[in-house]
Amino acid sequence: MTEIRYKISTQAPHEKQVAFIKSPAKRKVIVAGRRGGKTTGVAILAADMFMKGRRILEAAPTQDQTERFWEVVKDYFEEPIDAGFIYKNETKRLLELPNGGRLRTKTAWDADSLRGDYADLLILDEFADMDVDAWDKVGAPMLLDNDGDAIFIGTPKRRNHFFRMYQQAIGDDTGRWGAWHFTSYDNPHLSKQALDEITKDMTQSAYKQEIMAEFLEGEGQVFRNINACMGAELHPKVEKHQGHRIVAGVDWAKQHDYTAISVGCADCRQELAKDRFNKIDYHFQRRRIEALVNKYNINTLLVELNSIGEPNFEEMQRSGLPVSGFTTTAASKPPLIENLALALEKQEWQFQSDSVWTGELEAYEMKTSSNTGRPSYSAPEGMHDDTVIARALMLRAATTGRIEVVENPFYK
């Protein structure tokens, strides 16, 4: 059997590339600045799978965008191709091996152009510029037969579906999804001269997006000035807040969503603690919350009553906890959310920094009804808003005290 030798790169992968190359995650979301090394890093991973007989499909919105990946991969295999060990079709941008290995690049401005194929590894390049259907309706189904892997790479384009997927990957705690972020400056092989050329004549917003790989605010963004309000101490001493009015907000969930609780000091106007968990029996959820009540001497615990919130509320009342209820409706939700938005805008509160909790704030959307003209607030489809609601309830408890206490028939 002939051993095929090929070069992977003239340069060793840099630290950020090694992290996602070695990760076992089935879904990898890679957000990087221009020339940060996302394409070459993914090409290394793809070349290795190709040599092992796997089917690789790389797709990008335009031919120019697929060209970079194609040229990098061809360069890796130049000698085996010339020796006839690897079949190459330049027109189809296709490489094939006798062991079944297949590597192909396709343009995917129209998601339907990917239909009819299947892959062990699907790479969606510049995913921010793609139609979301390229993954939801076309890409995901083509991986079903072999439980294939998917990689999403790109530079941000405000807070569109690529941003939402990145936040989904950050929030995943199963190990199936992974998220990586790096800037153009994180590529040690990119010279200062090249960086100066890239950044020349860029606006500040373009620099943040294209070089620093920041997701800039979109038109539907609800919360602004978020980063300026993430300065709360992560592990504050309880004694510092002794005698202060301590409040908390709770948003309930069990299976698919998360129960989230935010604890804050109404006097100091800062978040003291937070917790987020799911797939835990409600009895243990209540005990977990009760532990926080006792630790911080919480005066008011404002919990959402919708759905499973009401029976939990009743049990907490039976336990003697200082609980109040809030029913979320189309009329009550906007003021709740807008109160939090205003506090952030004016930097009236400081919250604890956390990538998941901050990500939910950044992704939160407002939509205006074409029929009524009224605003509605929610997380984007497929994402969570549990931490947003928990913080909004905590802030409402802090600004209004014990409110909307629901009479419990148990005590009548």
Per-residue pLDDT of the chain (412 residues; tens, 9 = 90+): 456 667 676 668 889 999 999 999 999 999 999 888 898 899 999 988 998 889 999 988 888 888 888 888 888 888 777 777 888 888 888 888 888 889 999 887 666 777 777 789 999 998 888 877 788 888 888 888 788 999 999 988 877 788 888 988 988 888 899 999 999 999 888 888 888 887 877 767 778 888 889 887 665 678 888 989 999 999 999 999 999 999 999 998 755 668 899 999 999 999 999 998 877 788 888 899 999 999 999 999 999 988 788 888 898 889 899 999 999 888 888 889 989 988 998 899 999 999 889 888 888 877 766 565 566 788 876 677 899 999 999 999 998 854 443 333 332 3
Identity at 129, one-letter amino acid code: D
Instruction: Round to whole Å and give the CA distance between 380 and 364.
Output: 7
Do 56 and 191 lie in one domain? The reply is yes
Task: Look at strands 259-265 and 94-96 and give their pairing.
Answer: unpaired
Do 203 and 292 lie in one domain? The reply is no
Do 203 and 283 lie in one domain? The reply is no
Do 201 and 236 lie in one domain? The reply is no
Instruction: Say which CATH number the domain at 32 has.
Output: 3.40.50.300
- The CA-atom distances, in angstroms, between 305 and each of 105, 184, 251, 351 are 51, 47, 9, 24
Q: For residue 37, give the 3-state DSSP assignment.
A: coil
C-beta separation of 391 from 248 below 8 A? no
Domain of residue 134 covers 15-210
Do 335 and 200 lie in one domain? The reply is no
Number of domains in the chain: 2
Order of strands across the sheet with 177-182? 87-89, 94-96, 102-107, 55-60, 121-125, 149-154, 27-32, 177-182
Among 210, 240, 269, residue at a domain's last position: 210
Does residue 377 belong to any structural domain of this protein?
Answer: yes
Do 172 and 239 lie in one domain? The reply is no
